[in-house]
Amino acid sequence: MDLQQIIDDAGEGATIHLPAGTYEGNVSISKGITLIGDEKVILLPKNPEEPVIAVTGAKDVSIQNLQLRTSGTGILIKNSENVQLSNVSMNHVYSGVEIYNSKQIDIRQVAVTGNDQDFANKRNGIAIYDSYDLSIKHNKISKVQDGIYIENAKGITVKGNRVENSRYGTHFMYSEDAEASENKFRKNVTGFMIMMTENVSLFNNDISYQNGFNGTGITLYEVKNIEIQKHTVSGNRVALSIQKSDGVTISDNIFQMNQTAIESIQSGTNQVVKNYFVGNLVNVRSDVKGIQLQENYYDDYAGIDIDDDGIGDESYVALQSFGQWMVRKPVYQYYVEAPSVVLLNQIDQQTNKTAKQLLVDETPATQFERDKAFHFQFHLPQLIIGLILTIGCIAIWRRSVLI
C-alpha cells in the first residue's frame, strides 16, 4: 500500500485510518489531515537519511497511534501550525521529533528511545527551534542527547514528562515565558539545563540521581526571573547550580541526600525561602554574596527555639570553608567526608556564628513537616545485597576472633 499516494489523494481536513500492518515510505504531509493507526501500525523509511514523516507548510495536522522504526529522524515539523502528535513511539532513533518555525504544537504520549551510541553520536528526543505556543506533555524519553531541547521559543508548557539516561532532561536556550511541572528526570547528566532564558516557572518536578562527576539536578546559567517551587531534588551531585544569574526565587523545595544542595557561582541576588535541607553533605555554598536565606529548615541546625514559634533563636550559618573551595575546584568533592574536612566544618560553625555577610539565615525553621517526608527511592535488591555483605563481614570477623 502506497501511504504517500493515500495522503496525496485525501482532501483537506480528511481523516485517514490505517489498518494494522507495516508501511514503507518517507511520508510528506503539506495539508491539514488526520492520520490514525487503528491497531499496530509500523512505518519504515525507504531512506533512513530522511525523516519517516515530514510535516511541512501545513495547518491542522494530527498524527496518532503509530510506531516508527528508523535509525534516523522520526518526525520533522517545519513552517506549520496547529500540529498534534499523540501515542507515537520510536525506538533506536538518531533523532526523535524536530520542530522548526512552527506554532501551536501539541506533543503528548510520545515515546522516544535513542540509540546506544555516546552523546556525540545522537540527537534529541524532542527538539524545538524558533517556535511558539508549545505543549509538551506526558512523553517518555530515554537514551538521547537532550530529552526536550528548546531554543529561541516562547510560550512553552512542559508537563508530566519522564526523561532518563540522557544528557539533559530538558534544555532551554534563548527562550522565554515557559512553565515546567510534574516532570520526572532520573539518571541524566543534568535534569534541567536553563541558559540565557527568562521568565520561567518550574514547580513540582522530581529530579533524582544526576550524580556523575558533572551531575546536577538543575543548572541555571545567565537567567533572569526564574521560579523554582515544590520540587523534590534528591541523590544528585549538585541539586541546584546557579551561575551568573539573578532574580531567581527558590521556595518550598526538598533538597535531600545530595552532595551539595545549592551552589552559587558569580551570581547576583537570589532568594532561598522556606526550603528543606535534609541529609546533604553541603547545604549551600557560594563564591560571592548573593544568596538570601530565609526560613529554611536545615537538619544540621544546632540552635534552639525557646518560644516554640518554629523559628530558631540563633542564626544558621551555611558558610563552610571547604564548601567555598569546592565551588572553585569540584574535584575536592571526593574529600568531603575526610576527618580533617569534618573538623574544619565544625570549626566553621563556631567561628562563623558572628558572620552577617554571607550565607546566613537569620530565621531558620526548626520544624520539619512530616507530610514532606522523604521521597528517596527504596531499592530492595540493594538492601538485600547490603545485608548479605554485612552478615558476611560479621561472620568473617567473628571467625578471625575465635582463631
The CATH number of the domain holding residue 171 is 2.160.20.10
Residue 88 has pLDDT above 80, yes or no: yes
* Number of structural domains found in the chain: 2
Q: What is the mean pLDDT of residues 15-28?
A: 95
**High-pLDDT (> 70) share of the chain, %:** 84
Calculate mean pLDDT across residues 95-106: 99
The per-residue pLDDT of the chain, averaged, comes to 89
The whole-number average pLDDT for the span 79-100 is: 98
208 and 183 both lie in a single domain? no
Quick one: average pLDDT of 247-265?
Answer: 96
What is the reported pLDDT for 289? 75
End-to-end CA distance of the chain: 80
C-alpha cell at 276: 528543606
The pLDDT of residue 55 is above 60: yes
Label residue 352 by pLDDT band (50, 70, 90): very low
The answer as to whether 193 is a domain residue is: no
Residue 146: name the closest of 87, 197, 195 by CA: 195
pLDDT at residue 353 tops 50: no
pLDDT band at residue 377 using 50, 70 and 90 as cut-offs? very low
Residue 332 lies in a domain: yes
Which pLDDT belongs to residue 371?
A: 53
Based on the fold, state whether residues 184 and 260 are members of the same structural domain.
no
In this structure, the answer to whether residues 108 and 45 fall within a common structural domain is yes
pLDDT for 29 equals: 98
Overall average pLDDT of the 9-33 stretch: 96
Q: How many CB atoms lie within 10 A of CB 403?
A: 5
Residue of 392 and 346 predicted with greater confidence: 392
User: Pairing relation of β-strands 316-317 and 360-361?
Assistant: antiparallel
User: 256 and 363: one domain?
Assistant: yes
pLDDT category of residue 47 using cuts at 50, 70 and 90: very high
- Rounded average pLDDT over 41-51: 96
Q: What is the pTM of this model?
A: 0.86
**Could you tell me if residue 80 is inside a domain?**
yes
276 in the same domain as 318: yes
Residues 182, 319, single domain; the answer is no
Mean pLDDT (whole number) for 262-284: 94
- Indicate whether 159 pLDDT > 70: yes
Return d(Cα 90, Cα 69) in angstroms, integer. 6
Task: Supply the range of the domain harboring residue 329.
Answer: 204-216+229-238+248-403
Determine, yes or no, domain membership for 224.
no
Higher pLDDT pick, 201 / 385: 201
Which residues have CB under 8 Å from 380's CB, separation 6+?
Answer: none
How many whole angstroms separate alpha carbon 192 and alpha carbon 205? 10
Same domain, 54 and 138: yes
State whether 211 and 143 are in the same domain: no
Residues sharing a CB contact under 8 Å with residue 83, sequence separation 6 or more, in sequence order: 55, 58, 61, 62, 63, 77, 102, 104, 105, 106
Confidence (pLDDT) at 335: 61
* DSSP3 helix / strand / coil % (the chain, rounded to 5): 15, 45, 35
Q: Is 323 helix (H, G, I), strand (E, B) or coil?
A: helix
| In a domain? residue 268 | yes
Q: CA 24, 25, 30, 34: dihedral to nearest 10 degrees?
A: 10
In a domain, 67, yes or no: yes
Question: What is the pLDDT confidence band of residue 368, given thresholds at 50, 70 and 90?
Answer: confident
Please indicate, yes or no, if residue 256 is contained in any of the structural domains. Answer: yes
Quote the pLDDT of residue 392.
72
Mean pLDDT calculated for residue range 268-288: 92
Q: 336 and 208, same structural domain?
A: yes
pLDDT at 354: 44
Query: In which band, very low, low, confident or very high, does the pLDDT at 391 lie, cut at 50, 70 and 90?
Result: confident
Average pLDDT over residues 397-402: 67
Does 106 have pLDDT greater than 60?
A: yes
Q: 180 and 277, same structural domain? A: no
Do 164 and 208 have their domain in common? no
- What is residue 343's predicted lDDT score, i.e. its pLDDT? 62
Among 108-117, 128-137, 297-306, 329-338, the range scoring the smallest mean pLDDT is: 329-338
Domain shared by 80 and 212, yes or no:
no
Burial 336-360 (b: 16+ CB within 10 A, else e): beeeebeeebeebbeebeeeeebbb
The per-residue pLDDT for 180 is 99
Average pLDDT for 206-233: 96
Looking at the domain assignment, is residue 223 inside a domain?
no
pLDDT over 50 at 351, yes or no: no
Cell digits for 252? 518550598
Does residue 329 register a pLDDT over 70? Answer: no
Does residue 373 carry a pLDDT above 60? no
